[in-house]
Structure 1
Amino acid sequence: MSRIFACLLMFNLAFASLSPDLSGDEGMYLFNDLPTKTLKERHGFEPTAEWADHLRLSSVRFNSGGSGSFISSDGLVLTNHHVASDTLHKLSSADRNLIDDGFLAATQADELKTPDLELNQLVSIEDVTDRINAEVKENASAEDSAAQRRAAIAKVESESTEKTGLRSDVITLFGGARYHLYRYKKYTDVRLVWAPETAAAFFGGDADNFEYPRYNVDATIMRVYEDGKPAKLEHFLSWNREPLSDGELVFVSGNPGRTQRIFTVAALEFLRDSRIPYVLDYLRRKEILMQQFGLEGKEATRRARDELFGIQNARKAYTGMLAGLQDPATMATKRGREDRILQQISENPELQELASAWKAIEAIQAEKKELLTESASLRSTLFDLAQQITLLAAEDRKPNEERLRGYTDSSRESLLQELLSTAPIYADLEQVKLADELARMIEHRGADDRLVVEILAGLGPRERAAALVSETKLFDVDVRQELIDGGLDRVLVSDDAMIVLARKLEDEYRRIRKRNEEVEERERQAYAKITRATSAIEGTGGYPDATFTLRLAFGTVKGYEEDGKQIDPFTNFAGAYQHAADHEGQADMDLPPSWMKAKDSVDLDTQLNFVCTADIIGGNSGSPVVNRAGELVGLIFDGNIQSLTSDYVYSDKQGRAVSVSGIGILEALRSIYNAKELADQIGK
């Protein structure tokens, strides 16, 4: 799932907003600014500091793009199967297909060590706004202010990492109005304990994806280790073993990826008319590419499967997002609020100078449209490794405060974990992906472009890709280690084909990245003004846009009406078997043999999936759902199709978060997967 989540982040630039005019159960709240008043008034519940701290410390973030939670004192971690699918793919081979067949470790000694997974536990939050702002000079150009802000952030992160030993990330909130330092404890020894078959985890396939009712066990259990032994945890979630009730209050603790709820109408029009159509064209192209590669045979299908799933999932998600933006009602809602704010600004002399921010955002969208097709990256694993190693070597020669984001001292350990991953890299798949990327570069830049001519070296995309893949040694972790250890001197003299290619593209990559950063800085400054204006008119409060950092959402278990029919909030195991029978012979609608064999042993009335009104988005996958007592009752794995407008606007009329029931996971472990000992460990 990491590749597609990276794609989602890449295509979504997010800025934060103050949102005091909230709708229903809207809100992705900071753990250091929870909606205690709202919860008390609306639900008669007031979370204590101890309740919030325990939930925060029981939650984790996956560097592969998702969320999870600690569920036992000896290191067990619960997340989605689709969050873990990248790891399952990397642990698989032609002889061991964990994605198709699933996995259960008979003993701790049988747990499989993941090649490059990192889990982050949020230990503390510190407001560093004054420190960051003090380093950015007033009236500095966008280029200078971006550099000054980057340097200030790098300094804060480096000092924190050196002082505490914790991963330290400065997070931009409220359009640059606030900066918070998040400190994380990292777990890098993570091992696979249990995963169901994809036929159970993604039962219903693409047809049921983002739909409801659902009947999935989209769950996987891992374990974190320290010093070669299962980690001993003070904070983990106990597990409620009673069925949920309709209307019950629940909470979601997870890491929503990116939202654009502060975006102006002009920015949303750019998304609707340019960015999302561009992304969808890209995804459709890559979907066909992966499907065609898979036609080469069973092993080719396996090698492409994880990436293909991620692409298809993103394609359907973006299709839903675009549909929401193409709905006139969405734009009418946004335009109505924007017009009201601008009218009130025009009537307030103290705020009038802020009105220029909306025009600035509108002008910036034209520049962003120009930047859409500009790229000096070739999306393949081998080239990505080469480019990052090349950039790392150059950035290491600079003072920490002057380095690119992602290459500073505080980021180094996590970057090396990725660069030195032992996950397999398949030459045939890399060749196909690289050839397509070269072809795309020709389409966007033109065949006579100087850089294109230099890169192709007189060959067509397929022939050049074949040469590049055959003439690189970056498949070997030791070779990557030697390049990293040798630094810039070693990289500059390397004749490795991928490193040579990365060197040729480096100047263009830096030029494009610098231009993007300047545009982002001007947009950030404009949105900061919009935030000030909105706050002055509507009052402060609410929550910032999502930033793939830990947030708390709340809602109630609640069905909805669709096409004149009332959709019940719960499904059960009986419904799963019936769904399979009703769609017999259809692809992705067959339950795995383990389920059919165990049917007589399963309590068919046990809740399997449920929906609630909690405000979630991509990145929340794998988030624990807890009740008032802080006990785990579910596992977020999706939103329904009506919720896909949540990037821009929240609505609980039909939009719902979809979860696997906690008791459903336990029932599957005990009755289908013969994992009674594992089930007994959970929550203890």
Structure 2
Amino acid sequence: MKKLIICFLLATFIMPLHANEGMWFLMHIERLNYRDMQKMGLQLTPEEIYSINNSSLKDAIVQFNRGCTAEIISDSGLVLTNHHCGYSKIAELSTSENDYLTDGYWAKNNQEELKPKSLSVRFFVRMDDVSKRILGQVNDSMTEAEREAAINREIAKIEKENNEGGKYTVSVKSFYQGNEFYYFVYQDYNDVRLVGTPPASIGKFGGDTDNWEWPRHTGDFSLFRVYADKDGNPAEYSTDNVPLKPKHHLTTNIKGFEEDDFAMIMGYPGRTNRWMPAGGIEQNVEYAYPAWVEASKTSMDVMKEYMDKDQQVNLDYASSYASIANYWKNRQGMIDALKQHKTAKTKRKGEKAFKRWASKKGNEKYADVISVINNYYKNTNEISRHNNYLSLLLRTKVATLPYRLGKTIDFYLQQNEAKQAELKPELDAQINDLYEGLHLPLEKDVLAAQLKLYSTKAENIAPMVAKVAKANNKSEAGWNDYVNTAFENSIFETKEKLEAFLENPDAEVFKNDPLFQLSTDLLNRYRAKTEEEKQLDDDFERAYRMMVQGMRLQNPDEKYYPDANSTLRLTYGKVIALPADERNDADKNYYTTLKGTVAKYQPGDDEFDMPKELIKLYEEKDFGQYADEDGYLPVNFLTDNDITGGNSGSPVLNGKGELIGLAFDGNIEAMAGDVIFDDQLQRTINVDIRYVLFLIDKFAGATHIIDELTLSK
């Protein structure tokens, strides 16, 4: 995308609201947003969006696998989400002989739908404000530890009161840095099965090159189904289970839309930090994110080498690699965007205004807040760099596996023979789970590369790592030798060696195992805090909470929304175009077409290959009922909705609440959006629902799936 030349208009540290800004609670829509939404094109009532007593849109929106969003699109529990949200489960179900990730999969009936080992969807039941109740348990004289303990005691009571004897999952969450609290009631369904997915050459078309970029041409979707017992209640997997009859499912609109049409998105955004002070932004840009980027690339380079050589290894590590690659590009985009737009400088202006307000009579309790926050960041910059290098090292499976198994094994070794026999099946299951899909040569090389990077780039590193680094002079060859020797002498090298050890266990051998010692050293260092660091954390938590409290008092007439934290939110805006781009063949640069997809085609390329059947459909213009009235087949489109990670798979809805698309990405220019909103830059990239249905119908021939849907033409 051509870089946009704009004025960065945000002038204060608070969140000045634009029409398209905000991730709003559903229970507050009527009071805070309804009139604005009506003016922009909403035709629903607030009750039709969120109702406790009647079915409403919220009953069709689910959290998918705890990290994405999905929607119910039929009265038989059919679930639509992103391909990249289902990626790990599709890979899990794949083998080199039946490679559904590469080739796609379409179940012809319910019996052919495939059950991953573990996959759930979470339905939102209701929410309520418990701020007064919880904050009534604390006072300003408490330490942070005392405050947290009092809050947790009350949270436990609220969760027990509302779970109806275990029927529901109840979660109490903090908002505005601990100034408000709400509880959320959910119902979880754990029998979720794969219905259909396009091949990766469609679902992941463009790969890392196009990730976070526009124009896009990606069919980023997959289909699953929720199963329940015969009464519609959650149940563990059973062949007796039946497709769920949901309270509400979305109508799917194939008529299309125009520029400036109303668009709203409902979903589970993961995390934003829009109250983050200037010092936090500077810390991320200069210390934390560069470490993350470098460490991510280190793992990716090693993994890719092995994945390219062996298709089964590629399947086993596809999800891990995709996750690392996604955040690698995200963090670099964040660095670039935050620097380019001088976000820290903008925040600093707001902090100065806040300090002036805090110096006035009656506001003295907030006078030192900014100074305390700045002192925290000054003293934790190097810590943040260290922790990011170490975090990526700990994403290496064999760096944590010995520790994760260690506590279970230690407990096992302390038991008598009868108790060991009782515990053995559970231990065996845990071992099988952790070793499944583990490719030892890859793991060893990633671990050696990450240890070398960590030992040379971070300060105050884990003691054992420091000792080994000194002995081998931090050289690549030295780390390779160390890792190879550690594996050769470890009971954790392979599942077979560990099982053999457990047949004749020796506590001393376990205690002195080199991989267990390394794993323990790394995790102990990750969790270690000096007394000074603990005090810094406490002072910072209190100051940050007071800063947010004070800034809301400073500007009491503003409409505020809380930072994202994986709770259900609604964002609204419009279908919106960018300036013309020669790389996009569309008449207006708010959508892309199948013509543009074919133009990117590169035979045999990992990122831009295409199925021949799709090219044939394009050449024959066999688009069925899914073509736009102007004759082209739409692929992706843009809106200005306010989303972040976790919104992947969220439905894009028109003013009638009908499904018009599926959110799957943002644009690289707006990477600062997690800490500060810019209405001129913020864009959401969506799959047009007509492209999704075209692929299901004309490409896959899965017309029985189309027959399930409620279509609006």
Task: Provide TM-score, normalisation by structure 1.
Answer: 0.82
CA contact (8 A) 1:562 1:654 kept: no
Instruction: Map residues 26-425 of structure 1 onto 2, 5 A cutoff.
Output: 26-34=21-29, 36-41=31-36, 43-44=38-39, 45=42, 47-53=45-51, 54-63=56-65, 65-136=67-138, 138-154=140-156, 156-157=158-159, 160-161=162-163, 163-227=165-229, 228=238, 229=241, 230-346=243-359, 348-372=360-384, 373-374=386-387, 375=390, 378-381=394-397, 384=400, 387-388=403-404, 424-425=437-438
Amino acid at match of 2:363: L
Describe the SS at the equivalent of 2:649: coil
CA contact (8 A) 1:455 1:501 kept: no
Q: Which moved more, 1:604-613 or 1:521-530?
A: 521-530
Amino acid at match of 1:127: D
Name the counterpart of 1:588: 607
User: What is the rounded CA distance, in whole Å, between the counterparts of 2:471 and 2:537 in structure 1?
Assistant: 35
Name the counterpart of 1:525: 542
- Once the two structures are TM-superposed, the CA of residue 659 in structure 1 deviates from its matched residue by 0.5
User: What is the rounded CA distance, in whole Å, between the counterparts of 1:455 and 1:171 in structure 2?
Assistant: 43
Name the counterpart of 2:476: none
User: What is the rounded CA distance, in whole Å, between the counterparts of 2:576 and 2:215 in structure 1?
Assistant: 13
- Once the two structures are TM-superposed, the CA of residue 505 in structure 1 deviates from its matched residue by 5.9
CA contact (8 A) 2:86 2:222 kept: yes
Amino acid at match of 1:338: E
Q: For structure 1, which runs of at least 5 residues remain unmatched after alignment?
A: 1-16, 396-415, 483-489
User: What is the rounded CA distance, in whole Å, between the counterparts of 1:306 and 1:245 in structure 2?
Assistant: 35
Match of 1:659 among 674, 681, 686: 686
Q: Deviations over 1:564-612 (max 9, x none)?
A: 99952122223322343xx667652222233124332235523221101
Name the counterpart of 2:575: 557
CA contact (8 A) 2:177 2:548 kept: yes
Match of 2:594 among 573, 595, 606: 573
Name the counterpart of 1:542: 560
Amino acid at match of 2:704: E
Q: Deviations over 1:496-534 (max 9, x none)?
A: 987676566665454349998865554332222112221
CA contact (8 A) 1:18 1:535 kept: no
Q: Deviations over 1:627-671 (max 9, x none)?
A: 222111110011122222211222232331010111221111111
Describe the SS at the equivalent of 1:635: strand
Q: Deviations over 1:388-446 (max 9, x none)?
A: 56679999xxxxxxxxxxxxxxxxxxxx9999689644444444444444445544478
Describe the SS at the equivalent of 1:176: coil
Describe the SS at the equivalent of 1:285: helix
User: What is the rounded CA distance, in whole Å, between the counterparts of 2:132 and 2:223 in structure 1?
Assistant: 41
User: What is the rounded CA distance, in whole Å, between the counterparts of 2:560 and 2:372 in structure 1?
Assistant: 25
CA contact (8 A) 2:462 2:521 kept: no
Q: Which moved more, 1:224-233 or 1:458-467?
A: 458-467
User: What is the rounded CA distance, in whole Å, between the counterparts of 1:258 and 1:124 in structure 2?
Assistant: 21
Which is higher, the Rg of structure 1 or of structure 2? 2
Amino acid at match of 2:617: A
CA pair 500-286 structure 1, distance change in 2 beyond 3 A: closer
- Once the two structures are TM-superposed, the CA of residue 554 in structure 1 deviates from its matched residue by 0.5
Q: Deviations over 1:437-466 (max 9, x none)?
A: 444554447899347659999994421553
Q: Deviations over 1:35-74 (max 9, x none)?
A: 6554414643464223224222211112352111111121
User: What is the rounded CA distance, in whole Å, between the counterparts of 2:304 and 2:154 in structure 1?
Assistant: 46
User: What is the rounded CA distance, in whole Å, between the counterparts of 1:148 and 1:231 in structure 2?
Assistant: 40
Q: Which moved more, 1:229-238 or 1:513-522?
A: 513-522
CA pair 507-271 structure 1, distance change in 2 beyond 3 A: closer
User: What is the rounded CA distance, in whole Å, between the counterparts of 1:680 and 1:614 in structure 2?
Assistant: 31
Q: Which moved more, 1:289-298 or 1:226-235?
A: 289-298
Q: Which moved more, 1:48-57 or 1:441-450?
A: 441-450
CA pair 563-112 structure 1, distance change in 2 beyond 3 A: closer
Q: Deviations over 1:325-363 (max 9, x none)?
A: 1114433433333333333333x3112321321111111
- Once the two structures are TM-superposed, the CA of residue 118 in structure 1 deviates from its matched residue by 2.4
CA contact (8 A) 1:553 1:615 kept: yes
CA contact (8 A) 1:173 1:179 kept: yes
CA pair 637-465 structure 1, distance change in 2 beyond 3 A: farther
Match of 1:612 among 639, 644, 660: 639
CA contact (8 A) 2:15 2:274 kept: no
CA pair 427-639 structure 1, distance change in 2 beyond 3 A: same
Query: Number of aligned pairs?
Result: 638
CA pair 234-468 structure 1, distance change in 2 beyond 3 A: farther
Match of 2:649 among 610, 622, 632: 622
Name the counterpart of 1:633: 660
Describe the SS at the equivalent of 2:101: helix
Q: Which moved more, 1:49-58 or 1:103-112?
A: 49-58
Instruction: Map residues 416-455 of structure 1 onto 2, 5 A cutoff.
Output: 424-440=437-453, 442-443=455-456, 444=458, 449-450=463-464
Amino acid at match of 2:224: M
CA contact (8 A) 2:205 2:218 kept: yes
Q: Which moved more, 1:667-676 or 1:34-43?
A: 34-43
CA pair 285-353 structure 1, distance change in 2 beyond 3 A: same
- Once the two structures are TM-superposed, the CA of residue 557 in structure 1 deviates from its matched residue by 0.5
CA contact (8 A) 2:101 2:199 kept: yes
Describe the SS at the equivalent of 2:266: strand
CA contact (8 A) 1:203 1:590 kept: yes
- Once the two structures are TM-superposed, the CA of residue 210 in structure 1 deviates from its matched residue by 1.5
- Once the two structures are TM-superposed, the CA of residue 316 in structure 1 deviates from its matched residue by 1.5
Q: Deviations over 1:157-212 (max 9, x none)?
A: 45544734322222111111011122221121111111111111122222222122
Describe the SS at the equivalent of 2:256: coil
CA pair 316-436 structure 1, distance change in 2 beyond 3 A: same
Describe the SS at the equivalent of 1:215: coil
CA pair 64-37 structure 1, distance change in 2 beyond 3 A: closer
Q: Which moved more, 1:603-612 or 1:527-536?
A: 603-612
CA pair 545-82 structure 1, distance change in 2 beyond 3 A: same
What is the aligned-residue RMSD (CA, Å)?
3.9
User: What is the rounded CA distance, in whole Å, between the counterparts of 1:668 and 1:562 in structure 2?
Assistant: 28
CA contact (8 A) 2:68 2:268 kept: yes
User: What is the rounded CA distance, in whole Å, between the counterparts of 1:383 and 1:225 in structure 2?
Assistant: 37
CA pair 457-682 structure 1, distance change in 2 beyond 3 A: farther
Describe the SS at the equivalent of 1:275: helix
CA contact (8 A) 1:29 1:35 kept: no
User: What is the rounded CA distance, in whole Å, between the counterparts of 2:184 and 2:97 in structure 1?
Assistant: 42
**Percentage of matched positions with identical amino acids:** 25
User: What is the rounded CA distance, in whole Å, between the counterparts of 2:648 and 2:267 in structure 1?
Assistant: 8
CA pair 279-394 structure 1, distance change in 2 beyond 3 A: same
CA contact (8 A) 2:264 2:570 kept: yes
CA pair 553-625 structure 1, distance change in 2 beyond 3 A: same
